[in-house]
Chains A and B, each alone.
Chain A
Amino acid sequence: MQKYSVFSLVKNAFSDHMNWEVAWKDPTPKKEYDVIIIGGGGHGLATAYYLAKEHNITNVAIIEKGWIGGGNVGRNTTIIRSNFMYDANGRFNEFGMELWRNLSQELNFNVMFSPRGIINLAHSDAQMNAYARRGNSMRLNGIDAVLLGREEVKKHIPMADFSDDVRFPIFGGLMQPSAGTARHDAVAWGYARQADSMGVDIIQHCEVEGFNIANGKITGVRTSKGEIKAKKVGLCVAGSTNILAEKLNMTLPIETHCLQACVSEPVKPLLDGVVTFGAGHFYISQSDKGEMVMGGDLDGYNSYAQRGNLPTIQHVLTGGLALFPFLSRLKMLRTWGGIMDMSMDGSPIIDKTHIDGLYLNCGWCYGGFKSTPVSGWTFAHTIAQDRPHDLNSELSLNRFSTGYLLDEKGIGTKTWIG
């Protein structure tokens, strides 16, 4: 594989950039693989990469219905954080933060990881107490957390509405300084390029139509490009999880919902980190291009539409205007939607299933992007060793029937309420 560097850039400039190697090939599927990963998004590509790198399993195919990186890894708002209260979620995502910090070097691809900090705003004494508790839990797990007072928040975001007559005055906030953002497409492309170079077949425009199962063991998949045999199959299909589960006669603790995001026209740098509004459904950051990147909450009813509905955007931006009045003067550039695999307790599932050789990676709700490296790392371990790693042992499928829920937000099973 051609290494990307300033020297290769200069060298290729002399040949008008016509001689770059392809970043990944377009192979026809083989008859059989050791492992098939269904879903060529961030998590699927990362899983294939870590299978090859950490476990030396390179006879691997990624099967993708559309094109790689066309789903939620290309649709998210690029936020990376590990500000979780529960041990299982905190340890899992903090391990992921460590992977993020080295990712550009490891993949020889600039993922533009930028630890610019996240502030969750509090708007009441009760919320400050809750954030103090969350911050302490984070620090016990070695995650950086700082409780900010009103004046400290003002230093970070002076453009927010700090006047006295607002409905939800800012009392303070919880900050994770090491949180940040990354270039989402680069994450998918970086993993794809490295996985391809280690022998992984990336098969795009190939839809899984069914599964071959014999004596409780998976033997392969039926696809739009024919049958492919496999010893092991991993599902990394996020919002399409329920569709494939139906083909497997499984019902999962997952509902599929649409989440929207939007960006404004680009403006000069004014917002350094990520800010979430604690009294409504709104969060915001500024991209390197200068666009204000904003999101809020689900559209509020089961959806596979991958496009949103105007009332939700209006609701989200109403919250945004309450916090940042300057937004009223910005034009909206784009809005879009992605479909989320909402788990019933808000935490993901990375586990084996009752079918031998079939592995499940789903339930990412609206937070899949930040966990891309650690999800791939632990899922690769689960597939290769046929048992979960310590990091994902509590992200089990049976935690719902046994009652060991990880209800980080504590909202119960009405996932659309958010």
Chain B
Amino acid sequence: MLYIKCPYCGMRSQNEFAYGGDASVKRPELNKDVSDKEWDDFVYNRKSPRGKHIELWHHVSGCRQWFKAQRDTATHEIFKTAMMNEEL
């Protein structure tokens, strides 16, 4: 069982959260020409590192806020969490 610290509600059990994937992926800017490669990287290609990973979580059975977390994908240790507009 993971214990995740929601930046709004504090420490809660994993059952209250839904995962949202890699938070480092950036959508290409809309007001410029976007190459197929950029779209491909945005939609499909992922680094999926072994070790520290910055990812999105959704406190879906709580305050319903999205937030970012830095977690180790091998040990599942969660180092820190932050609101969406904060830097990790």
The chain A residues found within 8 Å of chain B, CB to CB, are 242-243, 246, 251-256, 300-305, 309-311, 344, 400-401, 413-414, 416
Contact = CB atoms under 8 A, between A and B. Distances in A.
Contacts of A256: 48, 50, 73
Given A243-B50, A416-B21, 16 more contacts: A242-B47, A252-B46, A253-B46, A302-B22, A302-B73, A304-B50, A304-B74, A309-B1, A309-B76, A311-B1, A311-B14, A400-B44, A401-B37, A401-B39, A414-B21, A416-B19
A254 B19 CA distance: 17
Interface of B: 1-2, 14-15, 18-19, 21-22, 36-37, 39-41, 43-50, 53, 55, 71, 73-76
Contact of B44 (A243, A300, A305, A413): A413
A344 B14 contact: no
A305 B50 CA distance: 9
Contacts of B55: 301-302
A242 B14 contact: no
A255 B47 CA distance: 8
A329 to B, nearest CB: 26
A39 B45 CA distance: 22
B21 to A, nearest CB: 7
Nearest to B74: A304
Nearest to A256: B48
| In the A-B complex, the 5 residue pairs with the closest CB atoms | A253-B44, A401-B40, A251-B45, A242-B48, A400-B44
B75 A305 contact: yes
Among A252, A310, A400, A401, residue most surrounded by chain B Cβ atoms (within 10 Å): A401
A310 B76 CA distance: 13
Contact of B1 (A251, A310, A416): A310
Contacts of A304: 50, 73-74
B73 A309 contact: no
A413 B42 CA distance: 11
29 contacts: A242-B46, A242-B49, A246-B47, A251-B46, A253-B44, A254-B46, A255-B48, A256-B50, A256-B73, A300-B19, A301-B55, A302-B21, A302-B22, A302-B53, A302-B55, A303-B73, A303-B74, A303-B76, A305-B74, A309-B2, A309-B14, A311-B14, A344-B43, A344-B46, A401-B36, A401-B40, A413-B43, A414-B21, A416-B19
A308 to B, nearest CB: 11
A319 to B, nearest CB: 16
Given A305-B75, A309-B1, A252 B45 contact: yes
Contacts of A311: 1, 14-15
A414 B75 CA distance: 22
A251 B41 contact: yes
A400 B39 CA distance: 10
Contacts of A414: 21
A305 B76 contact: yes
A255 B19 contact: no
A414 B19 CA distance: 10
Contacts of B39: 401
A400 B44 CA distance: 7
Nearest to B69: A301
Contacts of B44: 253, 344, 400-401, 413
Contacts of A413: 43-44
A401 B37 CA distance: 7
B28 to A, nearest CB: 14
A244 to B, nearest CB: 11
A400 B19 CA distance: 23
